Amino acid sequence: MEHAPEKPVIILVRPQMGENIGGAARAMLNFGLTEMRLVDPRDGWPNPKAIAMASGAAGRVLDHARIFPTLAEAMTGIEFAFATTARGRDLSKPVYTPATAMEKARSQPGRVAIIFGPERAGLENDDVARANAIVTVPVNPDFPSLNLAQAVLLMGYEWGRDTLPPEPSPHLGRAAGEVMADRIEIEKLGDHYEERLDEAGFFFPEAKASSMKLNLRNMWSRLTLTQGDVRVLHGLLRQLTRK
């Protein structure tokens, strides 16, 4: 049985604002990432603004965050590291998008880290030099700056996308207890509309009536309706055609 890859470590280098550290913790937990390492946070640690921003469950990411004086020490146990940067570098390293970087991360046998720089200027060349590869987001070149928490969220999403459903559930917003209409109920709804539209002379000219009815039936079959939806549509038609 194939083992799941280890989750990446998130390393924030010289983060400046506690709110951004807390926001990064929330972004991490959104996609199941729990190990944060902080390098020389500007305002010290612990930071009450970070704790307030993490709000609730994400606070446990901060509770277990480890503090290091240098990036070199923060990379203890890391076998492959990605440095996130929007700026061009003179360093010769492979460059990935977030999607391709996390695809590579999933194939790595050891611990992987994703390194993020301080809010004002990002990672320095000395920081990037300690990484194996660079991750750059293909954003608007006229405004390439991402908020720290946004950048963490983006990488977390790309890491977790293999375990996420490919599409949102079509019934995600359905109220609790609602029951989907079955094919017979949809069929009867189609019959009801076809009868009333026929009486109203909708299917005209006669030569096109058959294809018009087929298209209408096909439309009903494409709709995702609850039993409540079907009752409303029956009632609406009855009211409109009431003499």
pLDDT per residue over 114-139, tens digit each?
999 998 888 999 999 999 999 998 88
Residues 32 and 130 in one domain: yes
pLDDT score of 179: 86
Residues 117 and 69 in one domain: yes
Residues 159 and 220 in one domain: no
Residues 13 and 82 in one domain: yes
Residues 153 and 194 in one domain: no
Find the domain containing 128 and state its range: 9-163
Which residues are CB-contacts of 130 (< 8 A; sequence separation ≥ 6)?
71, 72, 75, 81, 83, 115
* Percent of the chain whose pLDDT exceeds 90: 66
Mean pLDDT computed over 5-28? 94
Residue 19's CB is within 10 A of a number of other CB atoms, namely: 18
Global pTM reads: 0.70
Note whether residue 138 is domain-resident. yes
Residue with tokens 């990935």: 96
User: Is the pLDDT reported for residue 162 higher than 50?
Assistant: yes
Could you report how far apart the first and last alpha carbons of the chain are, in Å? 69
Reduced 3-state DSSP string for 62-119: HHCCEEECCHHHHCCCCCEEEEECCCCCCCCCCEECHHHHHHHHHHCCCCEEEEECCC
Mean pLDDT computed over 79-100? 86
Closest of 215, 187, 212 to residue 201, by C-alpha: 212
User: Is the pLDDT reported for residue 175 higher than 70?
Assistant: no
User: Is the pLDDT reported for residue 1 higher than 50?
Assistant: no
Structure-derived torsion over alpha carbons of residues 46, 42, 124, 140, reported in degrees to the nearest 10: 80
pLDDT score of 68: 97
Note whether residue 152 is domain-resident. yes
Q: pLDDT tens across 17-51, in order?
A: 999 999 999 999 999 999 999 999 999 998 999 99
Whether 53 contacts 61, CB under 8 Å: no
pLDDT score of 142: 82
User: For the chain, how many structural domains are there in total?
Assistant: 2
User: Is the pLDDT reported for residue 104 higher than 90?
Assistant: yes
Residues 79 and 122 in one domain: yes
Residues 198 and 145 in one domain: no
Domain CATH number, residue 61: 3.40.1280.10
Distance of alpha carbon 150 from alpha carbon 86, whole angstroms: 13
User: Is the pLDDT reported for residue 3 higher than 70?
Assistant: no
DSSP 3-state assignment of 36? strand
Q: pLDDT tens across 46-76, in order?
A: 899 999 998 788 889 999 999 999 999 999 9
Q: How far is CA 112 from the centre of its chain?
A: 21
Note whether residue 155 is domain-resident. yes
